[in-house]
Amino acid sequence: MRGWFNDLSAVAHKIYNTPGIDPDSIHCIGFSAGGAVAAKVASFEKYIRSLLLMATPYSFSDILPDDPDILREHFHQIGIIRDINFPGDINRWYEDFIDLTPGRYLPFISPRKVGIVHGDRDETVPPGHAELMFKSALNPKKIIMLEGATHQLRKDPRSCGIIKNWLTEVR
């Protein structure tokens, strides 16, 4: 998670400092753990004009297994981790997840707009996380619960329309 944070921060800085890019038109959209990282980055980078979180956990501590080896094995099985030697320090890697609590960063994004999109049938990140995120965010904010949607909102055909509408709305 620390690496993802550093990567997204570097990309955001590069975009912000690129000639020809309108610095008032930088928005951040993140899915799941990527949304968690995006919330943290947006809380620090005030030039990010809005944040849209898709199936993002409020915190990882209540959805991850207590044993970091189980998490690593699960990520190997589903293809998120492909390098058998990753992570080098499993305890530090695991603690990076546990320490990243996106809900804690949301109040610092105001007065910029925060959107939260979640599936009402998400079994990976329970829908209650979306409600906690919404309560943590200050105005302006918006929540959309997608009926029948599971965790992988990037595969839900309604997501493209939601993102397009969001970017039109926050422009």
Domain map (residue ranges) of the chain:
2-60+100-170
pLDDT for 62 equals 86
Q: How many CA atoms lie within 13 A of 45 on its CB side?
A: 28
User: Which of the residues in the chain have pLDDT under 50?
Assistant: none
Q: Name 140's Cβ contacts closer than 8 Å, sequence gap at least 6.
A: 110, 111, 113, 114
Q: Is 2-60+100-170 a domain of CATH 3.40.50.720?
A: no
Per-residue confidence (pLDDT) for residue 80, from 0 to 100: 87
DSSP 21: S
Please report the pLDDT score of residue 2 as a whole number: 84
What percent of the chain has a predicted confidence (pLDDT) above 90?
Answer: 89
Whether the model clears a pTM of 0.85, i.e. scores above it, the answer is yes
Contact 56, 114 (CB under 8 A): no
CB atoms inside a 10 Å sphere around CB 168: 8
Cβ contact 140:113 at 8 Å:
yes
CB-based contacts of 78-82 (< 8 A; 24+ apart in sequence): none
